[in-house]
């Protein structure tokens, strides 16, 4: 069971201040890729979950172009079934908790059944968080393309500081667990430099600063899609946790 859970966690994207994905890129046998683990995930759900990392009709031109830019450099499977290596991996993204999927009992049944990931809790495409995260194996960095919908308003016409913090937690947390396995957010330190207009597409780029024992430090910046305007800078500290801690109610 523990081994099975371990495999499940490796394929999961960050779920807020806990993060579940461990690619173990350097430790894995050559025959097991992050992508193949990720492909096995949907079968864990009772019904086929939607992977929100794929384009939808709400994505604007900038979002689509940036997606194509990174997606074209991802691992691919040829017609002959062979895997071709790539610089990047597109990370899948679901709206349901692992624990619910695994049938765990940790809260009232009502809350448990209805729980949804904060960043994926609104069904209307384009209304809230539209994003996709790519991980770069060699360069120890991640990039997220984020299109901010009209339901994320804070200052008139601009994205709420909390929505920006949410995406920073998501991207840096995903990055931390790509590198270190299951982690929990310990600190977020965010400097807001310029507002992000509602409806715009921005890039969130994270880089690994260091890993010391159970601590993983990631830094991050949010810029306009062309990289010309700096919106936000942040550092994030994550602490590794065991699977047993993860499953506690």
Q: Which of 51, 169, 209, 226 is catalytic?
A: 169
In this structure, are residues 54 and 131 in contact, taking their beta carbons and an 8 Å threshold?
no
Instruction: Kindly state whether residue 191 participates in binding a second copy, applying the rule CB under 8 A.
Output: yes
Residues 141-170 that bind a second copy (CB under 8 A): 150-170
Residues 238 and 171 sit within 8 Å (Cβ to Cβ): no
- CB distance 12 to 21 below 8 Å: yes
How many beta carbons lie within 10 A of that of residue 19, not counting itself? 31
The answer to whether 21 touches 177, Cβ cutoff 8 Å, is yes
Nearer to a second copy, 86 or 217 (CB): 217
Active site residue 51: no
Considering only residues 59 through 118, tell me which ones interact with a second copy, judged by CB under 8 A: 97-100, 104, 106-108, 110-112, 114-118
Neighbour-count burial of 122, counting CB atoms closer than 10 A to its CB (0-12 exposed, 13-18 middle, 19+ buried): middle
Give the residue with the Cβ less far from a second copy, 155 or 242.
Answer: 155
> Position of tokens 């173990």?
24
Nearer to a second copy, 157 or 227 (CB): 157
Which position among 7, 17, 25, 55 is part of the footprint of a second copy (CB under 8 A)?
Answer: 17
Total binding residues toward a second copy, as defined by CB under 8 A: 63
Contact status: 49 vs a second copy (CB under 8 A): no
x/- map, 228-247, a second copy, by CB under 8 A: ------------------xx
Other CB atoms within a 10 A radius of the CB of residue 214 amount to 13
185 binds a second copy (CB under 8 A): yes
Q: Catalytic residue numbers?
A: 169
């Amino acid at each position: 069971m523990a081994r099975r859970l371990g495999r499940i966690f490796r394929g999961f994207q960050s779920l807020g201040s806990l993060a579940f994905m461990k690619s173990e890129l350097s430790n894995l046998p050559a025959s097991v890729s992050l992508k193949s683990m990720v492909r096995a995930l949907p079968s864990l759900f009772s019904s086929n979950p939607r992977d929100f990392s794929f384009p939808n009709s709400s994505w604007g031109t900038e979002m689509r172009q940036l997606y194509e830019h990174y997606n074209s450099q991802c691992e691919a499977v040829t017609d002959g079934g062979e895997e071709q290596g790539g610089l990047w991996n597109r990370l899948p993204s679901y709206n349901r908790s692992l624990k619910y999927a695994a049938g765990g009992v940790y809260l009232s049944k009502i809350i448990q059944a209805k729980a949804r990931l904060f960043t994926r809790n609104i069904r209307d495409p384009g209304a809230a968080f539209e994003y996709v995260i790519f991980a770069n194996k060699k360069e120890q960095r991640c990039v997220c393309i984020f299109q901010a919908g009209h339901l994320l308003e804070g200052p008139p016409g601009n994205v709420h500081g909390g929505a920006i913090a949410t995406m920073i937690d998501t991207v840096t947390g995903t990055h931390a667990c790509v590198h270190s396995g299951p982690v929990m957010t310990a600190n977020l330190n965010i400097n807001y430099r310029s507002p992000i207009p509602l409806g715009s597409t921005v890039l969130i780029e994270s880089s690994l600063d260091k890993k010391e024992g159970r601590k993983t430090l990631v830094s991050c910046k949010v810029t306009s899609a062309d990289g010309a305007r700096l919106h936000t800078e942040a550092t994030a500290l994550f602490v590794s946790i065991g699977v047993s801690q993860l499953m506690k109610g």
